[in-house]
């Protein structure tokens, strides 16, 4: 009887030990899987955030996804309206540097000047530099069409052939051949402050990815003018600079076309106002064409 009780007690002890082991295993399993369950719940609450715990240290992994969508979600109404306005804007293609060549034309769009041979200029040496330093574009509710304006400086020169020397009197402006000196450079130079008014079309809101086409007018106010000659007399070189108005019109107004891609383009202008004052000489209208680099 006592022997059976002892055996029964031993069996009960072993069973109790086995049950305790099961409890420990279940508890350990729960401790292992609970963080994972919490992690899964966290992922469900925020699909772009995952948290992991290692002791007292917590690791957070964030998937930003589409940042633009996140920014739009958290953007205020005012910022959202501003962003929409920006999407409807595009940059102008005026600010930059232009370089071109000029040819003088008469009122019949001819450059022969049979009665005024001195105005048949050397086009290869008659150069124009434009430095356009300020621009603004008024978009018409779309990034593809707008009105462009700004400010710039234009530096022009008319190169004479055959040693012609200008003679400016109160009533007339003419030129005579200098039979004494030989000129390697003989130019009438002028500078203008310019202001454009251009209707501009472009294919992309981003200027560096856009083809553009602009047409309109460029007004100008003459600031300075002078004659610059460089030549040789009696075997010695000389340079002459003579400031003067030389009958030049105080204003100019040019029709223009500008086109290109990104920062590079081409332009052409034709003067709508005579180069010189009325009555000083025959009517002359410069035609200029060249290349441009936009800032």
Q: Clarify whether residues 201 and 249 are in a common domain.
A: yes
Would 250 be classed as within a structural domain? yes
Q: For the chain, what is the domain count?
A: 2
Residues 251 and 136 placed together within one structural domain of the fold: yes
Same domain, 126 and 22: no
Using DSSP bridges, classify how beta strands 264-271 and 236-243 pair: parallel, antiparallel or unpaired.
Answer: unpaired
Residue 263 lies inside a defined structural domain of this protein:
yes
Q: What is the DSSP string of 84-106?
A: HHHHT----S-SEEEEEEEEEE-
Return the DSSP state at 248: B
Token reading at 173: 């402006």
DSSP-derived secondary structure letter, 19: H
Please check whether residues 242 and 115 belong to one and the same domain. yes
At residue 73, the pLDDT reads 52
Looking at the domain assignment, is residue 74 inside a domain? no
Do 51 and 143 lie in one domain? The reply is: no
Residues 50 and 141 both lie in one domain? no
Which residue range forms the structural domain that includes residue 51? 2-62
Instruction: Identify the weakest region by mean pLDDT among 48-57, 96-105, 241-250.
Output: 48-57
Question: Which of residues 237 and 66 earns the better pLDDT score?
Answer: 237
Using DSSP's 3-state secondary structure scheme, residue 112 falls into coil
| pLDDT band, residue 51 (cuts 50/70/90) | low
Q: Is residue 149 part of a domain?
A: yes
C-alpha separations of 183 from 53, 56, 94, 110 in Å: 88, 90, 36, 26
- Cα–Cα distance, 283 to 287 (Å, whole number): 13
Burial of 103 by CB count in 10 Å (0-12 exposed, 13-18 middle, 19+ buried)? middle
Helix (H) or strand (E) holding 215: strand 211-233
The residue among 196 and 46 whose pLDDT is bigger is 196
Residues 58 and 141 in one domain: no
Residues 189-193 have a mean pLDDT of 98
Q: Exposed, middle or buried by CB within 10 Å (0-12, 13-18, 19+), for 68? A: exposed
- Do 22 and 97 lie in one domain? The reply is no
pLDDT of residue 30: 47
Residues 260 and 116 in one domain: yes
Contacts of residue 99, defined as CB under 8 A and 6 or more positions apart, other chains included, come to 127, 128, 129, 130, 290, 291, 292
pLDDT at position 52 over 90: no
- How many contiguous H segments (helices) and E segments (strands) does the chain have? 3, 13
The better pLDDT of the pair 154, 11 is held by 154
The pLDDT score that the predictor gives to residue 90 is 87
- Comparing C-alpha atoms, which of 256, 139, 250 is closest to residue 197? 256
Q: Which residue has the tokens 């400031």?
A: 243
Tell me: do 224 and 101 sit in the same domain. yes
> In the chain, where does DSSP find H-type helix?
2-45, 67-74, 77-87
220, pLDDT greater than 80: yes
Contacts of 279 (CB under 8 A, 6+ apart): 171
pLDDT, one tens digit per residue, over 278-290 is 999 999 999 999 9
Residue 178 DSSP SS3? coil
| Closest listed residue to residue 49, CA positions, set 35, 57, 37, 59 | 59
Tens-digit pLDDT profile for residues 86-105: 566 788 999 999 999 999 99
Are 125 and 117 in contact, with CB atoms under 8 Å apart? no
**pLDDT of 62 strictly over 90:** no
CA separation, residue 210 to residues 120, 200, 256 (Å): 39, 12, 20
Mean pLDDT rounded to a whole number for the chain:
82
- The answer to whether position 76 is within a domain reads no
Predicted TM-score (pTM) above 0.75: no
Q: Is residue 85 part of a domain?
A: no
Helix (H, G, I), strand (E, B), or coil: what is residue 218?
Answer: strand
Question: Residue 133's pLDDT is what?
Answer: 97
Inside any domain, residue 171? yes
Kindly state the percentage of the chain with pLDDT values over 70: 70
Return the pLDDT at 59: 57
């Amino acid at each position: 009887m006592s022997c059976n009780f002892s055996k029964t007690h031993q069996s009960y002890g072993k069973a109790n030990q086995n049950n305790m082991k099961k409890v420990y295993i279940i508890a350990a399993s729960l401790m292992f899987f609970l963080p994972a369950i919490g992690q899964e719940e966290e992922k469900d609450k925020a699909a772009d955030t995952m948290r992991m715990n290692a002791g007292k240290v917590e690791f957070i992994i964030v998937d930003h996804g589409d940042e633009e969508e996140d920014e739009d979600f958290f953007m205020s109404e005012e910022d959202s309206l501003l962003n929409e306005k920006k999407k409807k804007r595009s940059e102008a293609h005026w600010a930059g540097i232009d370089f071109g060549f000029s040819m003088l034309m008469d009122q019949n769009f001819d450059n022969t000047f049979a009665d005024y041979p001195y105005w048949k200029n050397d086009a290869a040496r008659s150069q124009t530099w434009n430095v356009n330093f300020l621009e603004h574009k008024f978009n018409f509710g779309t990034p593809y069409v707008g009105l462009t304006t700004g400010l710039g400086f234009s530096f022009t020169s008319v190169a004479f052939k055959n040693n012609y020397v200008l003679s400016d009197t109160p009533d007339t402006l003419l030129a005579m051949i200098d039979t004494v000196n030989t000129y390697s450079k003989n130019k009438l130079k002028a500078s203008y402050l310019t202001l454009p008014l251009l209707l501009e079309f472009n294919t992309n809101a981003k200027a560096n990815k856009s083809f553009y086409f602009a047409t309109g007018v460029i007004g100008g106010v003459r600031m300075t003018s002078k004659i610059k000659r460089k030549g040789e007399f009696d075997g010695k070189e000389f340079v002459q600079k003579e400031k003067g108005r030389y009958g030049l019109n105080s204003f100019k107004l040019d029709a223009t076309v500008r086109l290109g891609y990104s920062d590079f383009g081409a332009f052409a202008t034709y003067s709508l106002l005579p180069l010189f004052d009325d009555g000083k000489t025959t009517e002359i209208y410069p035609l200029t064409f060249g290349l441009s680099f936009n800032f």
